[in-house]
Structure 1
Amino acid sequence: MTTILLLLLVAYLLGSIPSGLWIGHYFFHKNLRDFGSGNIGTTNTFRILGKKAGTIVFAMDLLKGTLATVLPLIFGIETISPALFGLFAVLGHTFSIFNHFQGGKAVATAAGMLLGYSPKFILLLVIVFFITFYLTSMVSFASVLSAGVAAILLLVLPAFHLIFTSYDWLFTSVVLFIVCFIIVRHRDNITRIRNKTENIFNFGLNITHQKHNI
């Protein structure tokens, strides 16, 4: 039990690493909290610091979720689901001890958790994400829709023994919690989407006709 608690703490601390904040501070001398949306996640990093920094931050935020999820496998722990460790990384990312218990919107780290748990499942969601991103030009819309699709698929796929051979209710509960968490974290984005004022990338079709380019 002590080992499990320590590894859960490690998972939280891994998730708490504020990649965008630190890269912006040490390499660009910018505090991401003072620019753009004020968020320290991947999208605002792309917007403020550029593609290279954005890609690095995305990779770091993704991999810290993956590493946290495989911690029990590394240490030979089989009595608790790896998804729980991934959840602690997601909570760390969103409520970072290194950033006054503030953080990103959990999408990249949640994707990293799914990568560590089921690479086939996250591949399916990546396809959904990029199709949606191309159609709407919005990372926020693609993130929320992909989260919703993840919830539906987790309830449907095991019934047909596709990707998952049976229901893992702890994993399903963790993912459903994270899905709700992601949607709540994007509530301002959802309001802007409804008002057609959400920020979009100069990529894709912008089929909802949002008016703000980034």
Structure 2
Amino acid sequence: MNFLLLLLAAYALGSTPFAIVSSRLFGLADPRRYGSGNPGATNVLRSGNKAAALLTLVGDCAKGWLAVWGAAKLGFSPVEAALAGLAAFLGHVFSVFLRFRGGKGVATALGVLAGINAWVALSALFVWLAVAVLTRYSSAAALAAAVITPISGAVLLGATPTVAVLALIAGILVWRHAPNIRKLMNGSESKIGASKS
């Protein structure tokens, strides 16, 4: 397969809005119309339907992982596989199916990390869980995980181009959370499990 076609396929895969799909399957309102307005697992959880939130989380993670895994299986190099993961991540953030206004990309990024290196993914997941438990803020947990990702990547993978891809994903995650950072600073950020009102 041509590398450009791989990137396009990964982007299309990443664009699949599992938050919208799962919400429709469970007869829920469009997650873009309540809570944070973000089509992601945390916002779907605000609907009170944990199964829909879990399906969203699994779907968003899976598409990131599948992009990397599929590229590797097709014989592409590790950095090319990482770039396929980046394409899937960008597809989620700038979904062609949602007029290029997608989610924050946290779950998809985790899936990409899992495809690249399980230990990098586990380190990010551990940091996310620790911060989430301590603060109850999904956004704070995501920001902490984003910061640690290129660091753990550099430690575990060495100075490789793949680490640059991880750093780019982390940077986009932080940028996508700019509104959340402002809310965290002024004390108006919603906590995990808060209602959708």
CA contact (8 A) 2:15 2:97 kept: yes
2:143: which partner in 1? 144
How far has the Cα of 1:127 moved from its partner? 1.1
1:184: which partner in 2? 175
CA contact (8 A) 2:19 2:40 kept: yes
After alignment, is 116-125 or 76-85 more displaced? 76-85
1:73: which partner in 2? 72
CA contact (8 A) 1:28 1:49 kept: no
How far has the Cα of 1:21 moved from its partner? 1.0
1:60: which partner in 2? 59
| SS of corresponding position for 1:70 | helix
Q: Which amino acid aligns with 1:33?
A: R
| 1:108 maps onto 2:107 in alignment | yes
> As a proportion of its length, which structure holds more helix?
2
| SS of corresponding position for 2:96 | coil
1:167: which partner in 2? 159
| 1:83 maps onto 2:86 in alignment | no
CA contact (8 A) 1:7 1:71 kept: no
- What is the alpha-carbon root mean square deviation over aligned residues? 1.6
1:209: which partner in 2? none
Identity of aligned residues (%): 34
How far has the Cα of 1:27 moved from its partner? 2.9
User: Which one has the largest radius of gyration?
Assistant: 1
Runs of at least 5 residues in structure 2 that lack an aligned partner in the other structure: none
Aligned equivalents of 1:62, 1:181: Cα separation in 2: 17
CA contact (8 A) 2:79 2:162 kept: no
| SS of corresponding position for 1:200 | coil
How far has the Cα of 1:175 moved from its partner? 1.2
Aligned residues: 195
2:50: which partner in 1? 51
Runs of at least 5 residues in structure 1 that lack an aligned partner in the other structure: 158-162, 203-212
Aligned equivalents of 1:185, 1:79: Cα separation in 2: 26
Alignment of 1:117-136 (within 5 A): 117-136=116-135
| SS of corresponding position for 2:2 | helix
Which runs of structure 1 show a deviation greater than 3 angstroms over 4 or more consecutive aligned residues?
none
How far has the Cα of 1:173 moved from its partner? 1.4
How far has the Cα of 1:174 moved from its partner? 1.1
After alignment, is 30-39 or 84-93 more displaced? 30-39
| 1:196 maps onto 2:195 in alignment | no
Q: TM-score, normalised by structure 1?
A: 0.86
Deviation string, structure 1 residues 123-160 (Cα, Å, up to 9, x no partner): 112111111111111110000011011123334x1xxx
Q: TM-score, normalised by structure 2?
A: 0.93
Q: Which amino acid aligns with 2:124?
A: L
CA contact (8 A) 1:17 1:98 kept: yes
Q: Which amino acid aligns with 1:193?
A: L
